[in-house]
Amino acid sequence: MTATRSRTYDALPAPFGKFAHATVLPLAGTKLVFVSGVTARESGAQDAEAQTRVIYERIRSVLKEEGGGFQHVLKMNVFVLDIRDYPVTNKIREEFFAGIDPPASTLVEVSKFVRPDVRVEIDCTAAIPEQ
């Protein structure tokens, strides 16, 4: 088994707990990138739409740093504080996945997040070819 490596990225706020922004597993010419739940904390974004945009930009920066993009995402999990925010979160998702096949996905309404100002959190798994 190839060793995994925990990663943090300058484009994201420092983790506030004992976790990495992502774990990367090199595997037969591909690296699996498991991106931890990303929020818009410390961005100033208040509503679900603005927070979702910040989140996708942050995920894009992680994928780019690992040599990939949204076309490499296999699975996304989206957590919202209010299910009525689904239309705006989905609209932004469509922008970031325009012209490429969308990944498998789950969307769940949650009762609360660790941080009271968070309305949306997204994690994902990507398979990025080694370069």
Interval 15-63: pLDDT, tens = 766 666 777 777 889 999 999 899 998 899 999 999 999 999 999 999 9
**What is the model's pTM?**
0.87
The number of domains in the chain is 1
CA dihedral 74, 78, 83, 84 (to 10 degrees): -80
CA 12 – CA 9 distance, rounded (Å): 6
CA 6 – CA 23 distance, rounded (Å): 4
pLDDT above 60 (res 1): no
Residue 87's domain spans which residues? Answer: 5-129
Can you give the CATH number for the domain in which 23 is found? 3.30.1330.40
Phi, psi angle pair for 93, to nearest 5°: -55, -45
CA 69 – CA 90 distance, rounded (Å): 18
pLDDT above 90 (res 101): yes
Confidence bin at 118 (pLDDT 50/70/90) = very high
